[in-house]
Each structure stands twice: as structure tokens, then as C-alpha cells.
Amino acid sequence: MNLSFIPSTQTPSSRPEHPCLISMRSGETPVFARRMGAKVVRLAACVLLASSTLCIAQTATPPTTPPTHQAQPWKSIPLPPLRAFKPVETTRIELANGVTLFLEEDHELPFIGGFIRIRGGSRDEPSDKVGLVSLYGDAWRTSGSTQATGDVLDDTLAAKAASIETEGGSAATGVSWSSFATDFDSVFNSTLDLLLHPAFQQAKLDLAKRSEISDILRRNDDASSIASREAVEIAYGKTNPYGRESEIATVSAVTLDDLRAWHDKTVVGSNLIVGVIGDFDAKVMEQKLRAAFDPIPRGTKLITAKIDFTEPTPGIYFANKGDVDQSNIYMVGLGTEEDNPDFYALSVMNQVFSGGFGSRVVQNVRTRLGLAYNVGGSFGAAYDHPGLFAIGLGTKSTSTVPATKATLDEIARLRTEPPTEDELRRAKDALLNSFIFRYDSRQKVLDEQVTLAVYGYPSDFLERYRTGIEHVTSADVARVAQKYVQPEKLAIIVVGNAPEIQPPLSGLGKVITLDTTIPGAPKTALSLVNKP
């Protein structure tokens, strides 16, 4: 069972807003196709409830002759081979000023939607103003343009059942729109006006700040949120762009001039990728988009500064939460990137380890030993930086230590016990049979093609996936497990009720107490939230 703590999957498909920790991917998809968050890899702290068990009442008289063999006729059903996977071709057009256009006709419904993806996100914001990009994404739309305020735009769009939204993410910002095909021209013109002539307002920035600070002040309310946040920070590092958190001081430091400067820096031709899908003629749409985007200056393409990654320091990290009776546990280390040749073998390894109720960690830790409500994890991969190798579980306080030990044993078993023939077959079948559903619409194909272009992956990356998985052997899984899986190097994060954790965490090793204090938080939190 793979836990999705951001959208997660072990195929080159979904993402991300928020990268979930337990994910084979933590890269970003197009801003508005996948609704990116402020960080490419932030756990959304989604804990799955344990499946209910159906209790069957026994009859008073047991059968006199229990069956010795149960027929399994379904095993004789012939399974046809999978068809060749060939996604719908997306029209790609490069303009002279660096703008890239992607067009996808879809005449099923009379709608047209699109997005403008702009390179540059929270990983590129200054360390003393973490939160800038999130505030920018919020205040941009609510402020509106020089031609129409955000409030006026709301009323205009509501009358047409249309939408225009802006957002800021870890690797990009952007604007998206959606409308009936008959309203495309007017809605797209409003979108273009918002892109080229924003009118950032102080009142809207203040409103976005209050919302952000309110979230910061409440971030210790939920134990699972604490655990996921601390896990990412420890794995990547407190100052790493993928591990750092916005704080009251960094949010308060952002000004209107910062928003304007960010916009002017990033909204240039070489940073823009435009995707449009819907009920239109591609040649006509191309002419409209050329007329709209050709005049934009090429500018300087934003290149993310080199980011250094180091493995987290192994240890037992603990945060006390006295009002809970269970523990949230993560075991984390650095993962890899999707262009790693071992990506396919790692995907199969992940499926064997926690890919469903029949996987090793679920069967042994949850079902056989009964030590966890939920458990799962994977060796994660992202597009242009290491994902996370992460395992998460939830258990009652008194099972914290035995559940952690049992999970570590299962991680170690990946190194010592290659998958059986049956495990390998089931893992590969699960990956291949589910893969097609990641691209069963033109919208999903467009999203992924844009993402591949953004990160410089070959356009046939999706087609390669099936062949890559099919060629994985048990020996390949054993090899990557030996190469990448090192349980002793993982950092273990536990959030729970200290007095109730018996046996104590010291049985796992030296315990490091985490400081979850919120810097700058006033005694009366409401006073800061309401401060103009």
C-alpha cells in the first residue's frame, strides 16, 4: 500500500503539488493541470484509515468434510498481451522569442482551457523572504489587472461560468483559464491582460499574508502534519530550498515591490510555456496565440542555481505531542531522479515493498503483526533533483518501538531476499496495468508532455516506460536494493505522546528532541493574524 502524502504514484505520471514524501515522484507537473503547492516536496500528511475487517459468524456445526481443494477457474482465463502504448500526439510550436506552445484538440465537450507556465518558483526565492512566491500567486489574481480589479474580474467570469486562476509553486508560477468555447476570446483576453498588466494591491497582499501567517500559527495542531514537515526538513536540510519552511518573519518581509520585481523578472518569452486544450481548430488557435505572445520580449531564461544535497544525519528524532494516543513515524533519506537508468527497477522494488495490500510491508507489519494502522513507502524520484526515500506508518503509542523495528526489518529484507517469481509478476502487472489510466485523457497527456519539455526529458519518455518495466528481473531488483537501500542511514522521525510510548524510544537509539517552536509567534496568536 503506497501512502499518498502529495499525489503519488510510482510511474512517470502524476505529481506532486505537494510531493508527497511517500512517492516515486516529487517533481512538478504543469502549474494548473496538477495544482502545484508552494513546495515541490512537502508531505500533505494524509493518513489512510485501516481497512475495516468483515467478521463472519461461525455456524454451530462445522462442515463434516472440509474441501481439500478449491477450484480456481479464473486462472484459466486467457489474458491478451497489452497493446502498444502510443499517447495522442500534441502539437508543439516554438516561437522566435522563446515561448513554447502546446495545442491539443478535444471536441468531446464545448470547452477550452489552458495554462501559462512561468519558470521560477519558491526554490528560487531569497532565503530571507521564503513565502514570496506563495504570496505572489495569491495576490496576483485577487488584485487583478490595470483594466479590471480582481473583484470585477470575479463578477465578469461568474456571469460566463468561466475561471481564471493564478498560483505559485516550487519550480514555477502561472495562470490558467477555462471557459465555454464561445467565450474563449474574451476570457483569454482577460487572462492575457492579467499576465501582462498586473496591478498588485497592498490590501490583497496583506490579506494573503494574514492567511499565510494563520497557517504557520496552526502548523503544530496536527501530529501528522508535524511529522511530515519535520521529515522533509530533516531529509533535505533546513536551509535547502526543498526543505525550508516559510516563517512569520520571512512572510512579513515581503513587499509589493518584491511581487512586482518577481513578475518582471520571470514573465519573459524564454520562461513561458503555454498549453491549450479543447474544442478548437489547431491552426486557428495557433494564429491567435502567435498574435498574443509574439510581442513579448524574449528576456533572460531563469536558471535555478545549483542546489547541494546531502544525506540526512541518521538518528531518532522525536517531537512530543501530549494530546494524542498514537505515533506518526517516518523513516527518510534521499532518493534519486527519474532519468536514472535504475528508475524502472526501483519502481518494481517499490511495488514489491508496499504496492498494495499484498505487498511485503503491509502483509507483515500491518496484517500479520498488527502493528500499524497504515504503512507504506518507496524510493522516490523527481525530475531534476533527488526525491525522497521514505517510509511512513501510524500506530498506537505502545506499539511505536516494535512497529518501527518491524518496518526496518522489512526494509532490510529488500537487500537479503530478492522478489519471488510471483512477487515480481504481480508487481510488474500492477505497474503496467495501472499505467495506461494515468494517460486516459488528452488533458493528462498534454500535462505530461509539457512537464517533460520543461525538464528536458525526451518526448518518448512515456513510451519507454512499458519496455523498461517489462525488462526488470528479480536480479535487477536485488541489485538496486543492494545499491540504494541502507536502513542504517535513514533518519527516523517520531511524533507522539512521550509518556505513553513504552518501551521508550531509547530502545531504537539515541533520541534527538525536535524543537517545533514557531519563531515570532505571539502569546495571543490572533493578534498577529489580525495585524495589518
Q: In 237-364, where does DSSP find H-type helix? A: 248-252, 256-266, 282-293, 343-354, 360-361
Name the percent of the chain in helix, strand, coil, to the closest 5.
Answer: 40, 15, 40
The CB density around residue 70, as the number of other CB atoms within 10 Å, is: 5
Q: In 10-149, where does DSSP find H-type helix? A: 31-34, 132-143
Quick one: which of 56, 163, 20, 90 has its CA closest to 441?
90
Q: What was the pLDDT predicted at 60?
A: 36
Alpha-carbon radius of gyration of the chain:
25
- C-beta separation of 204 from 142 below 8 A: yes
Q: What was the pLDDT predicted at 66?
A: 52
Quick one: which of 48, 7, 41 has its CA closest to 375?
48
Q: What was the pLDDT predicted at 500?
A: 97
Give the Cα separation of 119 and 265 in Å (integer).
10
Q: Per-residue pLDDT for the chain (532 aa), expressed as one digit of tens each?
A: 333 333 333 343 333 333 333 333 333 433 333 333 333 334 433 333 333 332 333 333 444 555 556 777 877 888 777 677 677 789 999 999 999 999 999 999 999 999 999 999 999 999 999 999 999 999 999 999 999 999 999 999 999 999 999 999 999 999 999 999 999 999 999 999 999 999 999 999 999 999 999 999 999 999 999 999 999 999 999 999 999 999 999 999 999 999 999 999 999 999 999 999 999 999 999 999 999 999 999 999 999 999 999 999 999 999 999 999 999 999 999 999 999 999 999 999 999 999 989 999 999 999 999 999 999 999 999 999 999 999 999 999 999 999 999 999 999 999 999 999 999 999 999 999 998 888 888 999 999 989 998 888 988 888 899 999 999 999 999 999 999 999 999 999 999 999 999 999 999 999 999 999 999 998 765 555 555 4
| Per-position b or e across 373-406, b if 16+ CB within 10 A of its CB | bbbbbbbbbbbbbbbbbbbbbbbbbebbbbbbeb
3-state secondary structure 457-519: CCCCHHHHHHHHHHCCCHHHHHHHHHHHCCHHHCEEEEEECHHHCCCCHHHCCCEEECCCCCC
Q: What was the pLDDT predicted at 47?
A: 33
Domains along the chain with CATH numbers: 91-293 (3.30.830.10), 307-448+456-513 (3.30.830.10)
E strand or H helix at 234 = helix 223-236
Give the Cα separation of 162 and 337 in Å (integer).
38
* Cell representation of residue 366: 500491518
Q: What was the pLDDT predicted at 460?
A: 85
Give the Cα separation of 419 and 425 in Å (integer).
9
Q: What was the pLDDT predicted at 454?
A: 86
pTM: 0.84
- C-beta separation of 115 from 32 below 8 A: yes
- C-beta separation of 392 from 329 below 8 A: yes
Q: What was the pLDDT predicted at 531?
A: 56
